[in-house]
Amino acid sequence: MNCSAFQIKTFKAYDGAEIHYVDVGSGQPMIYVCGFGSTIASQAPFIDAMRSRGRIIVLDQRAFGTTPAAGEMGVHQSARDVRALMEALELPHVVLYGYSMGAAVTFSYISQFGTAGLSKIILGDMSPKLINEGDWALGLYQGHYTRSMYEKDLELIRTDYKRFALIVAEGLLFQNSPQHARNFTGTADEIRARILNKRNDPIAQGLIQGMVDITEEHMAANYEYWSTMAGSDFRTVLPEIDVPVLILYADPGSGYSPATAAYMKSQLPNAALMPIYGCTHMAASENPMQWRGCIAAFAYS
């Protein structure tokens, strides 16, 4: 299934940019904000599964999928685009679901608009701060991602995008705990071979394809998405969230630690934890029945 199975619609953002989205199902509306590089097309199975449970709305963020690159880009602009979409569709009470980078968009939405228009929030396997520094060790790669790595990534996005993308893919497909020490070295071809030698399955193949086989326009835009996502610290946003929150997380995980989810719950006034056991950051694909079931039960109840 691909995005051709859905009618692609368009709305105008605050700055006049045209953003493409799909709107299917009926009843309680849920806006799903996809992760880094994900698109309506890549999320078609999830959209199709949700449409029988309630109304689901998904936008292609700027430079992703069918939406062209235009104006400012990054998680803060995506949050403004979500708000503009809600206003365009006149939606007063929305469940906002952000997975991975989509959760960073959700955090930015809260920082800019509070919980205006939101009835519930779903956060999918994410940290409010990706860079591990000082006394903070609950960020990306289960505590391994440092500021120097972040700065190197920004350089790689512009000079060797394929290598950057494969480093990220490897970090999301395998554990990064002290017991599973990570190797962030190698050329793009060496990293690809290392990944597929350990895990040559449709999930790994799909992630690599989705990260690497993208347009030049999308690659350039990813500098803005990565810098605004990984360079932000949203920890102060958490206590401001005054609507019910479901925190979905992978256990043992790979991108983030279960302790990250526990930290977020401790900072949120009204939150529930839901672990997806035996999974990496790709839990939505590794255990889709449980992942989708948890989302549907929370969003549409």
| Predicted confidence (pLDDT) per residue in 174-219, tens digit | 999 877 767 788 999 999 999 999 999 999 999 999 999 998 999 9
Q: What is the pLDDT of residues 288-300, one digit of tens each?
A: 999 999 999 999 9
The DSSP line for 177-195 is STTS-----S-HHHHHHHH
Written as six digits, the tokens of 21 are 């989205």
pLDDT of residue 1 exceeding 60:
no
Residue 83, Cα to own-chain centre: how many angstroms?
17
Parallel, antiparallel, or unpaired for β 55-59 and 18-24? antiparallel
Residue 286, Cα to own-chain centre: how many angstroms?
16
pLDDT at 179: 74
Q: Of how many residues is the chain composed?
A: 301
pLDDT of residue 227 exceeding 80:
yes
